[in-house]
Structure 1
Amino acid sequence: MHCLHWLWLSLLVLCLFWPQSPGQLIRIPMQFQASFMASRRQHRAGRSSLLAKYNVVGGQEITSRNSGATETLDNRLNLEYAGPISIGSPGQPFNMLFDTGSANIWVPSADCSSKNLACQHHHRYNSSASSTFVPDGRRFAIAYGTGSLSGRLARDTVTIGQLVVQNQTFGMAMHEPGSTFVDTNFAGIVGLGFRAIAEEKIKPLFESMCDQNLVDQCVFSFYLKRNGSERMGGELLFGGVDATKFSGSLTYVPLTHAGYWQFPLDGIEMGGTLISQHRQAIADTGTSLLAAPPREYLIINTLLGGLPTTNNEYLLNCSEIDKLPEIVFIIGGKRFGLQPQDYIMRAMNDDGSVICLSAFTLMEAEFWILGDVFIGRYYTAFDVGHRRIGFAPAA
């Protein structure tokens, strides 16, 4: 299951891939969204998708590289980050959501129904146009809050930058639920979690990169910019980390489980007071939010002076934002603070007025989800080979 976000209409871009000499980063130009303000409906949709994604979860420094690839990420309203890949021979381009909270890769199929708006609004994979297409025969289905995305599995070549992954199993979506994907700027999803959470236990794309010796280090890392009108929204680096994108050194902690990117969270402080200890957390690039267990959700939003709504939102006074406290996450014995401008989201109300919303949303479970609100502030290294995750202040 996956976290998805509602976006305004996207611009079409041409993504070019070309050979590079070893050691160079591949920086691919991306489209951008000129408008910064997300609607209140989009924020609500993000919360609904997040809850659907995790409703089955149990209460459970590398500074150099010789080769790798960099995906430059498109930031849409600080709600999602996407980048290009191609599938097939010759390559068919797709703009994709890179999601550490899932593990499958899928794109819309050319065989999708003409009545399915989500398919029609995006580029579709045409298996008959690829000389390297291999049918799999198995069906796949992935449940979302608004329905089930379904289709058939296949194998083909997947290219990201100069990294060419052979024989990758992926989903060809023939049925997409309702309006979930209609207005997204991504056609499909590249899951960057572990095989344990993949549908049909399919080998994830990055595991294939490692097994095929396409990267020197079995590490990928995210640098996310948080200015929603930023043309270049950041980058995803396969094969290591980029020390120019963070300050100091990375603080690594071991994973609790190699399924989601789950790790121990020592504690949380607010205004100098410890309000939580000994929790688990999941780093998820597929959500913009900070999802908290019920107790912390209530404490934090109450102390922020938020006004609760019937939609589990907390409204705050936009003129009082600068007076709110720093909220500190303690990970690996180090302090990672978020300022009010990090955890308060501005949104456009239905009547055109601007409102301020808390990024802390309710998770009916005893663990945290740290989405792009946190990852945008802290460069994050996902070390598959050593089963650990690292954080450092983003440059």
Structure 2
Amino acid sequence: MGWSTTHCLLWLLSLWIWTECQGQVIRIPMQFQASFMASRRQHRAGRTSLLAKYNVIGGGPETASRNSGATETLDNRLNLEYAGPVSIGTPGQPFNMLFDTGSANLWVPSAECSAKNLACQHHHRYNSSASRSYVPDGRRFAIAYGTGSLSGRLAQDTVAIGQLVVRNQTFGMAMHEPGSTFVDTNFAGIVGLGFRAIAEEQITPLFESMCEQRLVEECVFSFYLKRNGSERKGGELLFGGVDATKFSGSLTFVPLTRAGYWQFHLDGVEVGGQVISQHRQAIADTGTSLLAAPPREYLIINSLLGGLPTSNNEYLLNCSELDNLPEIVFIIGGQRFGLQPRDYVMRANDDDGSSICLSAFTLMDSEFWILGDVFIGRYYTAFDVGQRRIGFAPTRSQSV
């Protein structure tokens, strides 16, 4: 399927694309899917992929081996998903991409992908022969998913985000995307924003390339994610610093305990004033919508919320009692970051079409937390690559 001028115009209009370059700071508008309501099946798929992403069976991020291939995941389109525009090649070929701090590789579908792969056929594909700046790499790559695998070849080319042009960036050209994982997503591929330590083939991640090529004023990027599911303009990803107009007060920074994932020390967690967790590790992950808790905390939280357990490790909540649910507070760097029921309760359509309420706290069978978009949407998050630290502050539009 070709990529005509008409298709390009429609794609640009649908994303409401605009970029701004001021002092080597680039703003990328984040697209948010119009429908907030996920199906129960999609909610389960997101949870399954989350577990695969962090290789829980292998012991989690502290001990997981990456030698046999990186493991990452994507949220389902209707289960809270944020994406934005990227251009690859000369002339640039446009892609709508998921920006994921829980992985570190950049990949897009290849024009060489088989016609039998529906995921490839449903998205724009990278045509290496149409790019004057394409350089073959020769190495193969493979990424394992909970519902399949992704494989292809590595290449180098120019990657542009707004006015930032990264030269000779190594990325993956996906030639095999089996299964249904990527078929219905509103993005073509991933821009991994984790560190090189977790990247397939130890490839330099895109943002680290920006820093090395001195394209940004500060080696910092930050996320502002809107939580109104009816908005097409879903927030902003800022490369090169932070936007103080998007948050209240000052950012609370804490050092990373491991520069692979965005991993840091979590002082504690309180539910309705009751301390249920202390001195755990946590990971900030823009590539998942959920909040993943260790086994003990998972059971305690959902019990205190009055959740009804199901055979699929979900907890159903009474939609009519949401106003009576407690505040859940994460203590980071000595500061309190609270979530209200409207933040941590996910509405979904059941298999029969009826509306249900689900706890956003899912099980992580390891001793660490994953703070996904449920948390990052409530708190502006700054990812400081240069100083190996992460910072949080209440988003201005949602501050109390």
TM-score (norm 1): 0.90
Deviation, 1:177, is 2.5
> Which residues in structure 2 correspond to 1:262-341 (within 5 Å)?
262-341=263-342
Secondary structure of residue in 1 paired with 2:233 = coil
Percent identical: 85
State the match for 1:13 in structure 2: 11
Q: Secondary structure at the match of 2:167?
A: strand
Residue number in structure 2 paired with 1:46 = 46
Distance 2:33 2:86 in 1: 20
- Whether contact under 8 Å (1:78, 1:226) holds in the other structure is no
Structure 2 CA distance for aligned equivalents of residues 89 and 102 of structure 1: 26
Contact 1:17 1:161 in 2 (8 A): no
Moved more, 336-345 or 18-27: 18-27
Q: CA deviation at 1:231?
A: 1.6
Number of the residue aligned with 1:63: none
Q: Which residue of 1 aligns with 2:343?
A: 342
Q: Secondary structure at the match of 1:235?
A: strand
Per-residue deviation, 1:31: 5.8
How far apart are residue 18 of structure 1 and its match? 8.5
Residues 1:120 and 2:121 aligned together: yes
Structure 1 residue 26, shift from structure 2 partner: 5.1
Q: Which residue of 2 is the match for residue 155 of structure 1?
A: 156
Determine helix, strand or coil for the equivalent of 2:302.
Answer: helix
Residues 21 and 369 of structure 1, relative CA distance in 2, 3 Å threshold: closer
* 1:87 counterpart letter in structure 2: I
Deviations 1:141-188, CA, capped at 9 Å, x for gaps = 000012220000000000000000000000000001300000001100
Taking structure 1 as reference, are residues 196 and 57 closer, same or farther at Cα in structure 2, changes over 3 Å only? farther
C-alpha contact 2:254 2:332 (8 A) present in aligned 1: yes
Change (3 A) 1:219 1:57: farther
Asked whether 1:246 is paired with 2:247, we answer yes
Distance 1:392 1:32, change over 3 A: closer
Aligned pairs for 1:1-395 (under 5 A) are 13-14=11-12, 22-23=22-23, 33-55=33-55, 56=58, 58=60, 60=62, 77=78, 79-395=80-396
1:210 aligned counterpart, secondary structure = helix
8 A contact 2:28–2:236 mirrored in 1: no
Residue 76 of structure 1 and its aligned partner are, at CA, apart by: 5.4
For residues 33 and 388 of structure 2, the distance between their equivalents in structure 1, rounded to whole angstroms, comes to 35
* 2:65 aligned residue: none
Instruction: Give a deviation string over 1:213-259, Cα, whole Å, max 9, x none.
Output: 00010000000001111121001000000000000000000000000
- CA separation of 1:57/1:155 partners in 2, compared to 1, >3 Å: closer, same or farther? farther
State the one-letter code of the partner of 1:286.
G
Q: Give, in whole Å, the separation in 2 of the partners of 1:279 and 1:117.
A: 41
Contact (CA 8 Å) 1:88, 1:130: kept in 2 or not?
A: yes
CA–CA distance in structure 1, aligned partners of residues 24 and 155 of structure 2: 31
Aligned-pair distance for 1:22? 3.4
CA shift, 1:139, in A, is 0.2
Distance 1:28-1:290 versus aligned 2 partners, 3 A rule: closer
Aligned residues: 371
**CA distance in 1: counterparts of 2:60 and 2:36, whole angstroms:** 36
Distance (whole Å) between structure 1 residues aligned to residue 302 and residue 20 of structure 2: 49
Segments of 5+ residues of structure 2 without an aligned counterpart are 1-8, 63-75
Please tell me whether the aligned partners of residues 140 and 199 of structure 1 are also in contact (alpha carbons under 8 angstroms).
yes
Q: 2:67 maps to which residue?
A: none
The amino acid that maps onto 1:106 is W
Work out the CA distance in 1 between the residues paired with 2:378 and 2:324: 20
**Hey, what's the Cα distance between the residues in 2 that align with 1:306 and 1:171?**
42
SS at match of 1:255: strand
RMSD in angstroms over aligned alpha carbons?
1.9
Q: Cα 1:17–1:129, aligned 2, differ >3 Å: closer, same or farther?
A: farther
- CA-to-partner distance for each residue in 1:26-70, whole Å, 9 max, x for gaps? 55667654333111111111101101101245463xxxxxxxxxx
Q: TM-score, normalised by structure 2?
A: 0.89
- Compare 276-285 and 49-58 and name the one that shifted more: 49-58
Distance 1:205 1:164 in 2: 11
**CA 132–373 in structure 1, closer or farther in 2 if over 3 Å, else same:** same
Q: Give the letter for the 2:23 counterpart.
A: G
Is the CA contact (8 Å cut-off) linking 1:77 and 1:229 kept in structure 2?
A: no
Q: Is the 8 A contact 1:36 1:229 kept in 2?
A: yes
Q: Of Structure 1 and Structure 2, which has the larger fraction of its residues in helix?
A: 2
1:305 is matched by which residue type in structure 2?
A: G
C-alpha deviation, 1:25, in angstroms? 6.0
Kept after mapping to 2: 8 A contact 1:307/1:315: yes
Amino acid aligned to 1:34 = A
Distance change in 2, residues 1:132/1:80 (3 Å): same
Q: Which amino acid aligns with 1:144?
A: Y
- Quote the Cα distance in structure 1 between the aligned partners of 2:329 and 2:18: 43
Distance 1:392 1:17, change over 3 A: closer
Question: Quick one: structure 1 residues 78 and 181, their matched pair in 2 at CA, closer, same or farther if it must change by over 3 Å?
Answer: closer
Q: How far apart are 1:12 and its partner, in Å?
A: 5.4
